[in-house]
Structures are given as structure tokens and as C-alpha cells.
Amino acid sequence: MSKRTPLIAGNWKMNKTATEGVELVKEISAASVGSHASVNVVLCPPFTALSAVGQAIEGSLIALGAQNIHDKANGAFTGEISASMLRNLHVTHVIIGHSERRSIFGEDDAFVNRKVLAALSATLKPILCVGELLAEREANQTMEVVRRQLEAGLAGVPAAKAESVIIAYEPVWAIGTGKTATPAMAQEVHAFIRKLLAQQFGADTAARILILYGGSMKPDNADALLAEQDIDGGLIGGAALDAKSFTELVRIAAKSLSR
Ligand code: PEP
């Protein structure tokens, strides 16, 4: 049995107003999500819905995550949000280095790394996203790309804080496309990531770090993905916007722990 409690994280991206977000939380909570400890759940709404969603999940086991931070603590960075601002709203997790941030907003590995370090300094758990483009997979560069993003993203992370880091392997060609990596393809990369984590932080610590899969995870493919030894949960985009599919994913993940 895995030593790791599975985690299902919903990345709402630029969807849901605060009012719509609270409605979604009500539907999710009605299905008893966040009332038992066999699976951890994090919701990552847009910044504008953090406060309202935070209030709506109060008293449940659902945690609050953000989708991005700036690496600086404060200052003249118009439009940006710092780690301490998020902590003040009781945010505990933050997605960093999502492929949409890398490709649309030009975030490079060095910036991603500074954000990871800023998150850890503020006791936020970074969900560091790594993953290859379709062209990179077709050119057999998947492991090289994942190694570069992981090693650069985690540079300077002290071993004592490594267990606060969560990795999300998200093959870019599978995000929002309906194409999913097969369980075997995903497991191969997850095992490789855990090997790299062991090299950096030691095997015991690496065995405790969560590695999520992301990329069109849905109720009909989650069971097989979560059955793999090194897949500890999911970072969910599209399916997190629908209460029925999200709660079903949480139920499947809870079941995967008892295997
Ligand atoms: C994501 O954006 O992190 C993601 C995995 O999206 P989707 O589930 O829609 O592929």
C-alpha cells in the first residue's frame, strides 16, 4: 500500500466568479467531499474567488490553493500577488509553473524556481508542474525536459522543506485536449521523477513526496492512472468545473488508497 495519502487538486483556471465558485463548493460539499481523511482535496479558484471560496470551505477538510504567485514579497509589480497575501487569505497551496504560465506568459525555469522558493518561505505548498510538449515527446525528449524543469524548479530547496513540495506531471499535449497519457506512460515518468527526487533529497523523503498526474484526468480514466505505484493523485482542469465529475474523482482517489 502507498505511504502517501492521495490528493485531488482542482485547477479552475480563469473560470468561475466568486458567486459561481461558492455554488460549486456547495455542490461538492453536498457530496461529502472534504469530510473524510482518506483523500486530500485542494480547490484552486481564480484570485478573485479565493476569499469567498475560503469561507465556503471553512470547517471542511478541503484546502484552498491559488494558481500563481509572484516571487517578490511586495513592491512595484502591478497586477501581481505575493505569497504572504495568499497566506493572509488562508491559502495553503499554490500551483507554480503550469504549462499555460510557461507558454502563454513566458515564465522560464529560473522564475519558476524563485516562485517555488518564495512559496516555501511563506509556508505555502508549491504544486510544481512539469511536462513535455508533443514535439518533445515525439523527439524522445520527455525525460530530458522533465529532468530540466524539475531540477531547475527545485534548485536550492532545502531537504527539510522538500516534503512540502508537490510535483504535478502534466504532459502538455494531454492538457485540455481529451488525450490522456496511458497509465504506463505516466507511471514511467512518475517513477523517473521519484528517482530524481531521491537523488536530490534522499530516498525516504522522495517516498513521501506526492506526484500528481494532470492532463484530461476524468472519472473514466482515473482508476487506472491512480492504480499506478507512483501516481498519487491528480491535478484536474476541465473535470474540476463540474461537481459530479470532480466528486467522482475524489471518490475514486479515496478508493485507490485502500489498494
Ligand atoms: C490542468 O490544466 O492542469 C489540467 C490538467 O487540465 P485538464 O484536466 O483540463 O486537462
List, for residues 108-137, the tens digit of each pLDDT value. 999 999 999 999 999 999 999 999 999 999
Model pTM score? 0.96
Q: How far is the CA of 97 from the centre of ligand 1 (A)?
A: 13
Q: What is the mean pLDDT of residues 153-174?
A: 97
Ligand 1 nearest atom to the CA of residue 174, by list position? 10
Calculate the dihedral angle through the C-alpha atoms of 123, 5, 128, 173, rounding to the nearest 10 degrees: -160
* Angle, helix 142-153 to helix 109-121, in steps of 10 degrees: 40
Long-range contacts of range 245-251, CB-CB < 8 Å, 24 or more positions apart? 245/218, 245/219, 246/8, 246/10, 246/28, 246/33, 247/28, 247/31, 247/33, 248/219, 249/8, 249/217, 249/218, 249/219, 249/222, 250/8, 250/33, 250/39, 250/41
Ligand 1 nearest atom to the CA of residue 100, by list position? 2
Residue 17 binned pLDDT confidence (cut-offs 50, 70, 90): very high
Q: Which residues line the pocket of ligand 1, CB cutoff 6 A? A: 11, 170, 175-176, 214-217, 235-239
- Partners of 169 in the beta sheet? 130, 213
- Phi and psi based region of residue 3 (left: phi greater than 0; alpha: psi -120 to 50; beta: remaining): alpha
* Angle, helix 18-30 to helix 243-257, in steps of 10 degrees: 50
Residue 101, domain member (yes or no): yes
Mean per-residue pLDDT of the chain:
95
Ligand 1 mutation target, pool 7, 129, 170, 212, most atoms within 8 A of CB: 170
- Residue 255 pLDDT exceeds 60: yes
Residue 148, SS3 per DSSP: helix
Residue 45, domain member (yes or no): yes
Q: What is the mean pLDDT of residues 27-44?
A: 86
**Contact of 57 with 33, CB cutoff 8 Å:** no
In 40-141, which ranges are continuous DSSP H helix?
A: 47-56, 83-88, 99-104, 109-121, 134-138
CA atoms within 13 A on the CB side of 2: 27
Q: Which of 100, 107, 132, 170 is catalytic?
A: 170
Residue 249, domain member (yes or no): yes
Quick one: pLDDT at residue 258? 62
Residue 2, domain member (yes or no): no
Residue 27, domain member (yes or no): yes
Q: Is 90 designated active site? A: no
Rounded CA separation 142/38 (Å): 32
Identify the CATH number of the domain in which residue 134 sits. Answer: 3.20.20.70
Q: How far is the CA of 169 from the centre of ligand 1 (A)?
A: 11
Quick one: pLDDT at residue 216? 93
Count of structural domains within the chain: 1
Percent of the chain scoring above 70 in pLDDT: 97
C-alpha cell at 254: 479515496
Ligand 1 mutation target, pool 173, 213, 217, 246, most atoms within 8 A of CB: 217
Number of other CB atoms surrounding residue 175 within 10 Å: 20
Question: CA end-to-end span of the chain, whole Å?
Answer: 6
Give the residue among 214, 183, 258, 253 at the shortest CA–CA distance from 6.
253
Q: What is the mean pLDDT of residues 75-88?
A: 97
Q: Which of 70, 93, 98, 190 is catalytic?
A: 98
Residue 119, domain member (yes or no): yes
Q: Is 188 designated active site? A: no
Q: Where in the chain does DSSP place strands (E)?
A: 7-11, 40-44, 63-66, 93-96, 125-130, 166-169, 211-214, 233-236
Rounded CA separation 15/34 (Å): 22
C-alpha cell at 255: 478508493
Residue 112, domain member (yes or no): yes
Domain that holds residue 131: 7-256
Residue 1, domain member (yes or no): no
Residue 76 binned pLDDT confidence (cut-offs 50, 70, 90): very high
Give the residue among 77, 253, 239, 251 at the shortest CA–CA distance from 174.
239
